Structure 1
Amino acid sequence: MNKFLKVAVLFIFGISTFQAQNAQKAKALLDEVSAKVKTYENIVIDFKYSLNNPKENINQESKGNVTLKGNLYNLNFMGITKIFDGKKIYTIVPEDEEITISKYDESDKDAVTPNKMLTFFDSGYKYSWDILQNIKGRKIQYVKLVPISSKDQRKEILVGVDVQTKHIYNLIETGKNGTRTTLTVNSFKTNQPLSKNHFTFTESKYPNYYINRLD
């Protein structure tokens, strides 16, 4: 093997080793985030959501909040409330005075639900260490996720992690069609006092609503 070829092989090997270490470091940080989330009895999040696609002249912003407890959730977003009590999902739309009740499909592992918002990145992606930003005095480390499945319509996802708290600060998702969605956590509270009916749907509260039972 001539000297040039040796240098080239060592260079390529060095890049591969660096990329592997880079991916391990990125995955290790997300594992820390996931592990910490699981230690809380409940989590209450206020967030801002934005949707942008310059090609289609789309630029939308909205706010919402979600309460998580294990696999239970109570989500308020864009005027709609969605409650999961562990068995069924209740979607309440006050504007239409309509409620949809459906069963949760445990076999659908790819379903994006609020209770997966802080752990969706556990598998199914290639990981890489990205930039570190100082945002309002907070050090936010980004990890880039690239979906392994070619069928996934997402090109990449950036997960911003607060270095000190190990909580997610934001999620920036870029679609293959150029659509960019950003979810920014404005408030992250844990172990809050909740009413025993916080994840319970009470039909009597909606006497004039049309109820659509899918299952």
Structure 2
Amino acid sequence: MIKKYILFIALFAVGITSYGQNSDKAKALLDEVYNKVKSYDNIYIDFKSTIENTEADLKQETNGNVTLSGEKYLLDYFGAQQLFDGKKVYTIVPENEEVTIEDVNEDDDNVSPSKMLTFYKTGHNYAWDILQTVGGRKIQYVKLTPIDSNTEIKTVLLGIDAQTKHIYKLIQTGNNGTKTTITVNTFKTNQPLSSTLFTFNAKKYEDKGYYITTN
């Protein structure tokens, strides 16, 4: 099953008043990113993903890509494909010759592609974080901390290109110590898309002998 990712230190010493200002500034930047991205008809992102857990001696690296249009998306990740047509999620695993069809789980803690630019709007505290220079680009980080202490996510860092206002990096740290880092390699907008890109064709996979299950 593909994880629906995808994929920040508060300055406490500055004081409560200044923290509030930093929080407002951080959310204002995220809103600017959101409004910029919402102006596009669609987005194509090629990315690198790294999952690490030192205690579990785990490190996995892979490349992937995702095409988004509104809430719909098509994600290629870890040798599998995930399609969301606006109503259901279809996970296609060629290695197992299997397709799983699921309803959307609104309570899922993970950051899905369609949530990547909106999940921050509720349930988080915000903090202005470090500014880095990467290949001549200024990357401003914003730290999000879930208000709900029962969530599996400890923090999320979003690195934002200060000039383009596009997300460059997402770093999600779980309470179990697992860190998922998603780095954007390519960011394209308003690409010509097939009218059937976000349509699941059951017959195509039935003809291939795939096992299709509905949860």
How high is the TM-score relative to the length of structure 1? Answer: 0.88
Checking the alignment, whether the CA contact within 8 Å between 2:161 and 2:168 is kept in structure 1 is yes
Pairs within 5 Å for 1:6-25: 15-25=15-25
Residue matched to 2:50: 50
**Distance apart, 1:57 and its partner CA:** 0.8
State how far apart, in whole Å, the 2-side matches of 1:110 and 1:54 are: 22
Residue matched to 1:37: 37
Residue matched to 1:127: 126
Identity %: 57
Pairs within 5 Å for 1:66-105: 66-105=66-105
Runs of 4+ in 1 over 6 A off after TM superposition: none
How high is the TM-score relative to the length of structure 2? Answer: 0.88
**Distance apart, 1:102 and its partner CA:** 2.2
State how far apart, in whole Å, the 2-side matches of 1:85 and 1:174 are: 28
Residue matched to 2:181: 182
Instruction: Please give the root-mean-square deviation of Cα atoms over the aligned residues, in Å.
Output: 1.5
**Distance apart, 1:137 and its partner CA:** 0.7
Larger Cα Rg: Structure 1 or Structure 2?
1
Structure 1 portions without partners, runs of 5+: 1-13
**Distance apart, 1:171 and its partner CA:** 0.7
Checking the alignment, whether the CA contact within 8 Å between 2:145 and 2:155 is kept in structure 1 is yes
State how far apart, in whole Å, the 2-side matches of 1:188 and 1:104 are: 26
**Distance apart, 1:98 and its partner CA:** 0.8
Residue matched to 1:157: 156
Judging changes above 3 Å, is the alpha-carbon distance between structure 1 residues 102 and 175 closer, same or farther for their aligned structure 2 residues?
closer
**Distance apart, 1:23 and its partner CA:** 0.7
- Point out the more displaced range, 202-211 or 184-193: 202-211
Residue matched to 1:213: 214
**Which is bigger in relative contact order (C-alpha 8 A, separation at least 6)?**
2
Judging changes above 3 Å, is the alpha-carbon distance between structure 1 residues 62 and 169 closer, same or farther for their aligned structure 2 residues?
same
